[in-house]
Structure 1
Amino acid sequence: MKTLPARSVVVVLGTRPELVKLAELIRVLGPAARVVHTGQHYDEELSGGFLAELGLPEPAYLTGVGGQPRAVQIAAALQGLDALFAAEPPLAVVVQGDTNAALAGALAANARDLPLVHVEAGLRSHDRAMPEEHNRVLIDRLADVLCAATPDNRELLLAEGVPDERIAVTGNPVVEAVRDHLPAAAERARLLAAHGLDADRYVLATVHRPENTDDELALTAVLHELAGLARELPVVLPLHPRTRARIEAAGLLPLLDGVTVLPPAGYGTFLALARHAALIVSDSGGVQEETTVLGRPLVVVRNSTERPESLADFAELVDPGPQIGTAARRRLSEGAPGLHRLANLPSPYGDGTASRRIAGLIAELAEERTAHRSPALAA
């Protein structure tokens, strides 16, 4: 990869999942990367521990974004990014996924006529009730380079009329993120022992999406099914603060009595727990990818998914309610042979070199931008 000038590539992000997936790309870009955090999900833990775990420097933070409604988040981030881009125009802007931060970054780049790279392009749930779906489609229409994680993502983009020359199938950086941050076997064994867990003998669960937490009936149904599973084997639930608040407000704390509730886990801790779970129950998009790298079965509790590749072997999509328990017990009944089968399947999200491919595409785009800016170089 050609050497890029220092601070010449702005990486815009706003949430922990974006930090996780872009960490290796930021490391590969080195001094060329200028990381801007919009503050969409800012909390004090981002400074220090979490960034240190990922091996990242402190980003530049915008203000006035976190905790605001979606439109205000996008508008505030857009205003802050526009000022940054005007003061120090980058050669390229990188955004990842489908967050409000990513959309703000894409709009700001477009407004300043800056080349835009979209990591994780082409995902589609075809569910217009999801704000993320609108963000994905808009970012893909604006991007100059669309880094599709899978061939299916590429086909979706082509069907929407995106020119083939703007699309590159790169794989998903989640593969290297999992491989880089999964603790060693001895550390994983220590962690399980500390929580009184036996490998392949517990369920790991996460619940945080508004469709499950803001709907009291859905939240009750999810917790009821987890409580039922907890009567058969341990259920471990790292509890998101927002989810805890919803549970308390709805008076549902008794449903957690048989569940092992943990504070929100660091990325490495979560991967260690996921690596040895007999089953994972989650509404997370990232977990749908991570389980394919870890070789673990997953029950996805959502109305729709933008990651159908995971459903082929690793995951099942269910609505909140009895389907959770039915699907969970079916996957658990496969036992050790089922886990062995998944462990030997390749992840559909690539070979773990996505970040280097994307960095190469960024370098090519930046070189074109430099030549375009300078007639002497163009000649």
Structure 2
Amino acid sequence: MKIINVVGARPNFVKMAPIMTAMARCPERIQSLLLHTGQHYDCQLSGTFFTQLGMPRPSVCLEVGDGTPAEQTARIMIGFEKVCQVERPDLVLVVGDVTSTLACALAARQCGIAVAHVEAGLRSFDSTMPEELNRRCTDQMSDYLFTTEPSAGENLLREGIGAEKIHFVGNVMIDTLLQQRQRAAERSLLRNWCLQPGEYGLLTLHRPANVDSPEVLARLLEVLAVVAQQLPLIFPVHPRTLKVIDRAGLTGFFTRSFGTVGIRLVDPQGYLDFLHLMMHARLVLTDSGGIQEETTVLRVPCLTLRDNTERPVTCEVGTNVLVGSRGERLLQEAGGILAGRGVAGAVPEKWDGRAAERIVEVLLNRLP
């Protein structure tokens, strides 16, 4: 059984690592190849992940580089079609909801190859999000849909997906977190920056709705600066966000010092260092989907700077609270956390570190 596993952007690597490990335990039945589309080409966003997560180097790299979603989709499809024609895999496995996910799923289907989608069925019901389009389209083309929470399966059934295709397996991102948690705890980043656990917050921003408009980003930073007067915020800044900050002249919102009031910009961090920062933070402010899940398992309070989430279990069971990006709710919830009134949360069903094992078990039982 030959399987091409597709990665293209930072979140994909964390999700794919345990799947590759689980497949490697069955060499007599599975021949797995790792393909990197090159959607994220920055070394810090891609290269260090292979080393830190113990992943094999990609068998193929398409090196599609930067561009609009349409440009990247076209280049990925052209390149991936050629790979499929040469390798003739039995299955293409894609994860998450990035451009590479949709492009490779579509190219595989056009070549008559079965598709498996890991993290299927998640829905924000916000059609302005590129990720929502990617998720919905990929699910409609997939033969195996692996879900992380019960609501995802319910969404798929409502959209007409056959129940026999849906498999509730848990969360592969949490597989990686549990495997790497101790290594991350032992990192020296806090010591190097003279920070103490619980004495800072962690901030991430990259959603187009929050960062593409200088006016929107400036208003959000004004609110975050108020929070940062009570708790210093560490902000590993995404390259896209940094470009907007520089172009719009918003550098005045940031401090140059660690451990003092204000927002401190830092470079993007590798997986282990970012996990180290997250597990020791007093609170996390983010617009990322995956961070909502990781903070839930780490039992760290998370305020999501969005009006919706495709991961409702993190709010229903976990530590996540939706606060939007306009200010009042954000300040209210942050103040409650700093006063000791954060949500305690619990770990969702099947987020136990065995999701990848369940995926491989399904494939071994169902594929010819």
Give the structure 2 partner of residue 206 of structure 1. Answer: 204
Q: Which runs of 5+ in 2 are unaligned?
A: 256-261
User: Which whole-Å CA distance do the structure 1 matches of 2:184 and 2:107 have between them?
Assistant: 44
Structure with more helix by fraction:
1
1:273 aligns with 2:273: no
Q: Which runs of 5+ in 1 are unaligned?
A: 369-379
Give the structure 2 partner of residue 53 of structure 1. Answer: 52
Give the one of 213, 217, 220 matched to 2:218. Answer: 220
Q: Mark the CA change 1:350 to 1:183 in structure 2 (over 3 Å): closer, same or farther.
A: closer
User: Which whole-Å CA distance do the structure 1 matches of 2:45 and 2:23 have between them?
Assistant: 21
Give the structure 1 partner of residue 333 of structure 2. Answer: 327
Give the one of 293, 300, 308 matched to 1:296. Answer: 300
Contact 1:223–1:256 (Cα < 8 Å) also in 2: no
Task: Specify the code of the residue in structure 1 equivalent to 2:176.
Answer: A
Task: Specify the code of the residue in structure 1 equivalent to 2:179.
Answer: D
1:115 Cα offset (Å)? 1.4
Task: Specify the code of the residue in structure 1 equivalent to 2:3.
Answer: V
User: Which whole-Å CA distance do the structure 1 matches of 2:185 and 2:97 have between them?
Assistant: 36
Q: Can you list the C-alpha shifts for 1:81-130, whole angstroms capped at 9, x where unaligned?
A: 11111111111110011111011111112111111111001001111111
User: Which whole-Å CA distance do the structure 2 matches of 1:48 and 1:237 have between them?
Assistant: 21
Give the one of 23, 41, 49 matched to 2:17. Answer: 23
Q: Mark the CA change 1:16 to 1:186 in structure 2 (over 3 Å): closer, same or farther.
A: closer
TM alignment of 1:32-181, pairs within 5 A: 32-45=31-44, 48-59=47-58, 60-63=60-63, 65-181=64-180
Which stretch has the larger CA shift, 169-178 or 357-366?
Answer: 357-366
User: Which whole-Å CA distance do the structure 2 matches of 1:155 and 1:186 have between them?
Assistant: 36
User: Which whole-Å CA distance do the structure 1 matches of 2:45 and 2:287 have between them?
Assistant: 23
TM-score scaled by structure 1?
Answer: 0.89
Instruction: Give secondary structure in 2 for the equivalent of 1:36.
Output: strand
1:181 Cα offset (Å)? 2.1
Instruction: Give secondary structure in 1 for the equivalent of 2:186.
Output: helix
User: Which whole-Å CA distance do the structure 2 matches of 1:127 and 1:47 have between them?
Assistant: 28
Q: Aligned-pair RMSD on alpha carbons?
A: 1.8
Q: Mark the CA change 1:112 to 1:165 in structure 2 (over 3 Å): closer, same or farther.
A: same
Contact 1:92–1:114 (Cα < 8 Å) also in 2: yes
Task: Specify the code of the residue in structure 2 equivalent to 1:352.
Answer: G
**Higher-Rg member (1/2):** 1
User: Which whole-Å CA distance do the structure 2 matches of 1:195 and 1:228 have between them?
Assistant: 22
Q: Mark the CA change 1:46 to 1:203 in structure 2 (over 3 Å): closer, same or farther.
A: closer
Contact 2:185–2:276 (Cα < 8 Å) also in 1: no
Give the structure 2 partner of residue 376 of structure 1. Answer: none
Task: Specify the code of the residue in structure 1 equivalent to 2:331.
Answer: G
Task: Specify the code of the residue in structure 1 equivalent to 2:61.
Answer: Y
Contact 1:299–1:318 (Cα < 8 Å) also in 2: yes
Instruction: Give secondary structure in 2 for the equivalent of 1:121.
Output: coil
Give the structure 1 partner of residue 347 of structure 2. Answer: 346
Instruction: Give secondary structure in 1 for the equivalent of 2:304.
Output: strand
1:186 Cα offset (Å)? 6.1
Contact 1:178–1:290 (Cα < 8 Å) also in 2: yes
User: Which whole-Å CA distance do the structure 2 matches of 1:357 and 1:285 have between them?
Assistant: 22
TM-score scaled by structure 2?
Answer: 0.91
Give the structure 1 partner of residue 259 of structure 2. Answer: none
Task: Specify the code of the residue in structure 2 equivalent to 1:213.
Answer: V
Q: Mark the CA change 1:349 to 1:240 in structure 2 (over 3 Å): closer, same or farther.
A: farther
Q: Can you list the C-alpha shifts for 1:176-221, whole angstroms capped at 9, x where unaligned?
A: 1111222448625x43222222222211111111111111222112
Contact 1:309–1:348 (Cα < 8 Å) also in 2: no
Task: Specify the code of the residue in structure 2 equivalent to 1:316.
Answer: V
Contact 1:289–1:349 (Cα < 8 Å) also in 2: no
Contact 1:122–1:140 (Cα < 8 Å) also in 2: yes
Instruction: Give secondary structure in 1 for the equivalent of 2:321.
Output: strand
Give the structure 2 partner of residue 249 of structure 1. Answer: 247
Which stretch has the larger CA shift, 24-33 or 75-84?
Answer: 24-33
Give the structure 2 partner of residue 315 of structure 1. Answer: 320
Give the structure 2 partner of residue 237 of structure 1. Answer: 235
Task: Specify the code of the residue in structure 2 equivalent to 1:287.
Answer: I
Contact 2:13–2:49 (Cα < 8 Å) also in 1: no
Q: Mark the CA change 1:45 to 1:196 in structure 2 (over 3 Å): closer, same or farther.
A: closer
Task: Specify the code of the residue in structure 2 equivalent to 1:311.
Answer: C
Which stretch has the larger CA shift, 9-18 or 318-327?
Answer: 318-327
Instruction: Give secondary structure in 2 for the equivalent of 1:334.
Output: coil
Instruction: Give secondary structure in 2 for the equivalent of 1:196.
Output: coil
Q: Mark the CA change 1:83 to 1:153 in structure 2 (over 3 Å): closer, same or farther.
A: same
Give the structure 2 partner of residue 355 of structure 1. Answer: 356
